[in-house]
């Protein structure tokens, strides 16, 4: 498909994704690296991302919703029999649907255990499941005492094979936070209750906390897609999302004139501005206008005034030779994902998942 030159473009660099996957495998020191591809691979396209990661050796994936798991199973097709874990688990009435799509639920409560176990007892050979233990985040999962009681009775596990025990770190992006060590200790106790199962605690940031956090399987998300594990760019990781947009018009703004909604920018001297064909309808956060910078003509250019739905104004020097149609980088090699997120007052995750459907997309390095 040819791209419209007057449209904002998103290029997803699957070669960079493969590089990041290899870098995380190195950091994982032998633990399996299981990509998290929920939310359409953080907005970048789960079908294309998972296909390339499969080609790189990934065999286990995590999604959040059952529908995401169904879509991923269909996208991978019958020849790529990946293990797909569903973090939402097995809500009431969902067991037949999970089994039909060959999805493995991450069971989070006694009610979900009952749902999946009851269904498993009707299936020859039973069913596999993962079990989530809440070690301090207070989101999903059994408390430690509930897991211990479950092992004592074993009745709630009839028909089930618990192949993986997981928990989730609340403060891994802050390496010195005391919650990390506290959660690690609780998880070590919890995982010891299921000695035959694999164990998984680390997300992207947890991967970089050291050997003790790695266990058997790690679940990176944002760092696969180029975000640093601690909210700043990491030298081992490459940008995967490249967002550019064309210049629509060059304007000469006179002293005393304003730019954009609310007249929040007033020119104190003659200002040359380029109007860019991108805005919050494309997923560029409106708050990016406060401190954001883009890349054009070999230099960073600051945003002038408020972002609008379809346009951004940037300051350009009077000697810069540019014209309508020239492209401006909003994310990529020069505008790092973490830095764009920081300028927007948010995190890299939100910057990616807000990328809008109307962006025209290409995939570099796609493999069948």
Question: Hey, which residues are catalytic here?
Answer: 38, 261
Longest dimension (CA), the chain: 79
CB atoms within 10 A of CB 2: 5
Task: Measure the CA angle with vertex 260, ends 259 and 264; round to 5°.
Answer: 75
Q: CA-to-CA distance for 32 and 113, rounded, in angstroms?
A: 26
Q: CA-to-CA distance for 302 and 338, rounded, in angstroms?
A: 17
Nearest CA among 177, 230, 179 for reference residue 347:
230
Are 201 and 304 within 8 A, CB to CB? no
Residue-by-residue DSSP string for 60-127:
EEEESSHHHHHHHHHHH-TT---EEEETT---TT-HHHHHHTT-EEEE-SHHHHHHHHHHHTTSTT-E
> Is 5 in a helix, a strand, or coil?
coil
């Amino acid at each position: 498909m040819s791209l419209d030159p007057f449209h904002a473009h998103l290029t997803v660099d699957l070669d960079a994704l493969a590089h990041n996957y290899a870098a995380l495998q190195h950091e994982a020191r032998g633990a399996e690296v299981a990509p998290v591809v929920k939310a359409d691979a953080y907005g970048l396209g789960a079908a294309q991302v998972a296909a390339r990661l499969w080609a790189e050796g990934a065999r286990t994936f995590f999604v959040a919703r059952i529908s995401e798991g169904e879509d991923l199973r269909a996208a991978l097709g019958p020849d790529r029999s990946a293990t797909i874990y569903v973090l939402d688990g097995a809500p009431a009435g969902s067991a037949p649907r999970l089994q039909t799509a060959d999805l493995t639920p991450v069971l989070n409560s006694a009610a979900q255990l009952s749902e999946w176990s009851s269904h498993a007892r009707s299936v020859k050979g039973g069913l596999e499941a993962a079990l989530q233990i809440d070690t301090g985040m207070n989101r999903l999962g059994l408390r430690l005492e509930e897991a211990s009681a479950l092992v004592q009775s074993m009745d709630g596990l009839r028909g089930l094979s618990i192949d993986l025990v997981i928990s989730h770190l609340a403060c891994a992006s802050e390496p010195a936070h005391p919650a990390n060590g506290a959660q690690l200790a609780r998880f070590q106790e919890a995982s010891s209750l299921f000695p035959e199962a694999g164990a998984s605690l680390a997300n992207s940031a947890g991967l970089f906390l050291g050997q003790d956090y790695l266990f058997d399987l790690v679940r990176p998300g944002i760092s696969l897609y180029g975000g640093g594990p601690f909210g700043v760019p990491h030298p081992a990781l490459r940008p995967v999302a490249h967002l550019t947009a064309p210049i629509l018009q060059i304007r000469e703004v006179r002293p005393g004139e304003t730019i954009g909604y609310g007249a929040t920018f007033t020119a104190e001297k003659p200002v040359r501005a380029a109007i860019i064909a991108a805005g919050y309808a494309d997923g560029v956060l409106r708050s990016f206008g406060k401190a954001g910078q883009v890349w054009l003509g070999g230099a960073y250019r600051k945003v002038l005034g408020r972002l609008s739905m379809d346009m951004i104004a940037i300051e350009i020097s009077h000697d810069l030779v540019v014209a309508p149609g020239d492209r401006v980088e909003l994310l990529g090699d020069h505008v790092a994902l973490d830095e764009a997120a920081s300028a927007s007052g948010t995190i890299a995750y939100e910057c990616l998942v807000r990328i809008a459907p109307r962006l025209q997309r290409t995939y570099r390095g796609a493999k069948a």
